[in-house]
Structure 1
Amino acid sequence: MALDQQRNWTISMAESLQATKDKTAAAAKPHEQSTASFPIRDDDPKPHGYHSTEPAYLPDELLLEILSYVSHTPEAQKSLHTCCLLSRQWYTAALPYLYAYPKIYGKNYDPFVRTLCPSINLRVKDSPLASLVKVLNLGLLVHHSSKSVTARVLRRTEASLEEFVAPQASFAINSFAALSKSHNLRSLDLSLVSEAQPLDKLFSSLRSLKHLERLRFPRSSGFGAKTVDPDSIIWPPALKDLYLSGGIDANFLYGIVHFPPSLERLTIEHCPQAKSHAIRALLTTLSRARLPLKSLSLSHLPRLGISSLDPVLGLFPDLEELSVSVDYITPAIFNPDFQEWQSEDTPNFTNHKLRTLAFTNSGNPGVDDKFSPIDVLLTLDEGSFPNLRKVRIARSLGWERGETRDETEALIDRLVELGTKDYGEKTGVFAAMSTHQWRNANWKDWAGVWIID
């Protein structure tokens, strides 16, 4: 009986398999008959081995979440361009991200300009894509544009522009009008501009920028006029980060009689015409203003003496970051003589808020032995600068070589000891962190000696 059941099951399965084969062959015959009259050629397209399906639909909220991550990747522009080619839904969602932070270089600049400025006359035809641009970085352009084209692009994007980096050779006074109307501008970088700009016209254009937080002056020579009217120097009210460089002379530095009340970072670099007395006058004015200055950087000032900046720490007791070239300081920076700068207050370094100290090299010969790790270590042992945890050293100073290496390791051990104590007691930089941030923080990122190039 069992054998009969097995035989019946085998026969039924064989019949079912044969019926399936017959149906498949019958379905293929009409296709064979329709193509029988056409001979097969070598260049005929070959059938693919996969089945095409409709693309899966994703909600717009999910697309925007995905694109927000894609837009921060190194290949964001290429990836976002690919996303725009998928479907209309992806195109609509990815287009604002694609034009918000465009990466512009020589080859794609002309198509970019033609897209934003299809007509020279602003009233003839306008591109809706211009209102999507938030960051316009033309720093990679040299002779790929003209001054009129740069001004035209700024006029098209002035309503939405938040950050602008000017090109080297194609930025001029005809762009000032568009800058004055960029009311959402937060960062303006003119450091690459090679042509001298009229200082009074520039300040006049920046007065209306109430949201401007970061300003970098050009490094071009002769930036300032021979005489500067102090009344014309009116800073944007929200300015927090100021970068002074280029042909800034004593007249310009003496002409600064006030600073924006919100200034937190100041950088003075690459100023061949700035003299010691002018830099001192500027820093003294800044110190008396009692501004919330947190970071100060001074380097590449060839007219300064070997100890011109020794009193800088005493002028700013609330300073948290200082970067200074060893060309202009001596170990007396930790105990400066303030009579020369006519300071009214006696410095008290036991309550100083300095956390990060960086020593750079401006290229003058014979400065690699002016400062040593022992000078910093002795200062910490004396109780000065109780919040100092980070020390950054230029590689050219040689703190990681020879006999100085042992002194550097001793300084590292001392800073790590202080950083470990801060983390265990939740003091110093960890005091302002939440409990979750404090537990996930790595104290090694906040204490030690770093070699910088």
Structure 2
Amino acid sequence: MPSSPQSHLPTEIIVQIISYVSADNRDRQKTLHACCLVSHQWYSAAVAYLYERPLVNTGIAFQRFTETISPPLGARKNKLNLGSFVHRLNLSHLVHHSSNSLTARLLGRVKGNLEVFAAPSLTFTISSLPALSKCLNLRNLDLSLVHDPIPFPALKQAISKHKKLTTLRLPQSTILTEPESARIPWPPSLQRLQISGRFNPLLIPTFSWPPALTSLALKNCSDLSVTNLGSLLSSPQLGSTLRRLTISGANRGVQPESINAIPAFLPNLTFLSVPGDMVDESFFDIICHMFPPLALTVLEFGLPCADLQLNFSTKSLVNALKTGLTNVREVGFANELVTDQLATEHDEIDDVLRQLEEHRVSQSGSGTQDEAQIGVYLLP
């Protein structure tokens, strides 16, 4: 019996199928690999999608990936430059699976189109900086898990020409106030910065922040006492440009007095997330007496530093919403802080937020585009 002739699909149709498959994150890697094995035509259409954001969260997957992207000397090499297809590379799940030289070499192989990079904890070192400096298409750089001390001036020099970089998370060992770093320019488009490590409170008020900075996160800082946090927040530049501030529960030295300083220094914030257990009644007392009201539209009580409880009453929050927080539309609570009593009082907070929105609508004649964005929500 004669075999049926093979059907031929136009390449445009195959690319359409591949792009649809690529959007499904459940079995994306496995399915795209299967597509590459269908034929030469399917391989040509699917290979770029396969390597665009490789899943390398295990040692075996990482080994196979590196042997393909950066084969050992003398090994057979692919005619295609597979590293040029990589746009997102997340190595944050890896610990002992790489080496300093391999991480640096791998960065060198994928530098052409790499846009998002999350570094591994142990094998990203100062030796990786020359390769990192050539990844000029980076938009998001996450070094937050890096343990090896990297001099801040050297890191800043390596990324100073990254014109597309908008988000940066610094290593845990960062020391921000090394004087020589002030002469090195920040990436011009850097908007979101996460600080870890430590800084000198005597020098931080004159610290040169990224000129386009609008969002700042503090996580794994060694000392966020009243003095240190006050020195950081007192920067005139931050008071002018900063719109989002997140203080994680994973910081040392945070006190309620530290949180109380935020409204005075940064009245133009539109988003504020702080450890829920570090907010007490005095925070709302201060806010109730502020005029004009703060610009805040979102207020989050995040994961706690120490105690799994809130140290303020719903009544205090509601009073503040009616006075110094009249622009707030959303209030978030970490799941760990939600007690049975607070759960029953959510409706009261919701009602106040919706009343405030109705008042804004009556004053301006226009409301928010999505009413679902008004009210209380839980943080994952």
TM-score (norm. length: structure 1) = 0.74
Task: Kindly indicate whether residue 325 of structure 2 is the aligned counterpart of residue 385 of structure 1.
Answer: yes
Question: Partners in 2 of 1:318 and 1:428 — Cα distance?
Answer: 21
Alignment of 1:8-27 (within 5 A): none
The CA deviation string for residues 331-376 of structure 1, in whole angstroms up to 9 with x for no partner, is 3334539xxxxxxxx95343x33111101243324x7242222222
Q: Look up the match of 1:360.
A: 302
Q: Look up the match of 1:93.
A: 45
Instruction: Tell me the CA shift for residue 68 of structure 1.
Output: 2.5
Q: Look up the match of 1:297.
A: 246
- Note if contact 1:229-1:255 (Cα within 8 Å) is conserved in structure 2: no
Alignment-mate amino acid for residue 255 of structure 2? G
Alignment-mate amino acid for residue 199 of structure 1? F
Instruction: Tell me the CA shift for residue 53 of structure 1.
Output: 4.8
Question: Partners in 1 of 2:200 and 2:183 — Cα distance?
Answer: 16
Q: Look up the match of 1:343.
A: none
Alignment of 1:3-82 (within 5 A): 52-60=4-12, 62-74=13-25, 75-82=27-34
Question: Partners in 2 of 1:52 and 1:253 — Cα distance?
Answer: 78
Instruction: Tell me the CA shift for residue 125 of structure 1.
Output: 8.9
Question: Partners in 2 of 1:323 and 1:218 — Cα distance?
Answer: 21
After superposition, the Cα gap between the structure-2 partners of 1:268 and 1:362, relative to the gap in structure 1 and judged at 3 Å, is same
After superposition, the Cα gap between the structure-2 partners of 1:58 and 1:204, relative to the gap in structure 1 and judged at 3 Å, is same
Q: Look up the match of 1:268.
A: 218
Instruction: Tell me the CA shift for residue 420 of structure 1.
Output: 6.5
After superposition, the Cα gap between the structure-2 partners of 1:274 and 1:415, relative to the gap in structure 1 and judged at 3 Å, is closer
Greater relative contact order (CA < 8 Å, ≥ 6 in sequence): 2
Q: Look up the match of 1:310.
A: 260
Q: Look up the match of 1:414.
A: 352
Question: Partners in 2 of 1:120 and 1:101 — Cα distance?
Answer: 25
Unaligned runs of 5+ in 2: none
Question: Partners in 2 of 1:208 and 1:250 — Cα distance?
Answer: 27
Question: Partners in 2 of 1:226 and 1:319 — Cα distance?
Answer: 24
Question: Partners in 2 of 1:145 and 1:174 — Cα distance?
Answer: 14
TM-score (norm. length: structure 2) = 0.87
Alignment-mate amino acid for residue 346 of structure 2? T
The CA deviation string for residues 358-407 of structure 1, in whole angstroms up to 9 with x for no partner, is 01243324x7242222222112233x333311111123333x413x4443
Question: How high is the sequence identity, in percent, across the aligned residues?
Answer: 32
User: In the alignment, which of 120, 128, 131 is matched to residue 167 of structure 1?
Assistant: 120
Alignment of 1:114-153 (within 5 A): 114-120=67-73, 128-153=81-106
Question: Partners in 2 of 1:269 and 1:95 — Cα distance?
Answer: 38
Alignment-mate amino acid for residue 407 of structure 1? E
Task: Kindly indicate whether residue 269 of structure 2 is the aligned counterpart of residue 319 of structure 1.
Answer: yes
Alignment-mate amino acid for residue 447 of structure 1? I
Question: Partners in 1 of 2:279 and 2:377 — Cα distance?
Answer: 20
Q: What secondary structure sits across from 1:273 in the alignment?
A: coil
- Note if contact 1:227-1:252 (Cα within 8 Å) is conserved in structure 2: no
- Note if contact 1:183-1:210 (Cα within 8 Å) is conserved in structure 2: yes
RMSD: 3.0
- Note if contact 1:268-1:298 (Cα within 8 Å) is conserved in structure 2: yes
Question: Partners in 1 of 2:202 and 2:18 — Cα distance?
Answer: 46
Question: Partners in 2 of 1:235 and 1:224 — Cα distance?
Answer: 16
Question: Partners in 2 of 1:426 and 1:89 — Cα distance?
Answer: 57
May I ask how many residue pairs the two structures share in their alignment? Answer: 373
Instruction: Tell me the CA shift for residue 196 of structure 1.
Output: 1.7
Q: What secondary structure sits across from 1:102 in the alignment?
A: coil
Question: Partners in 1 of 2:169 and 2:44 — Cα distance?
Answer: 35
182-191 or 109-118: bigger deviation? 109-118
Alignment-mate amino acid for residue 14 of structure 2? L
The CA deviation string for residues 24-65 of structure 1, in whole angstroms up to 9 with x for no partner, is xxxxxxx9xxxxxxxxxxxxxxxxxx97452341341x3333
Alignment of 1:341-352 (within 5 A): 348-350=291-293, 352=294
Task: Kindly indicate whether residue 56 of structure 2 is the aligned counterpart of residue 104 of structure 1.
Answer: yes
Question: Partners in 1 of 2:343 and 2:224 — Cα distance?
Answer: 35
Unaligned runs of 5+ in 1: 1-30, 32-49, 338-345, 431-440
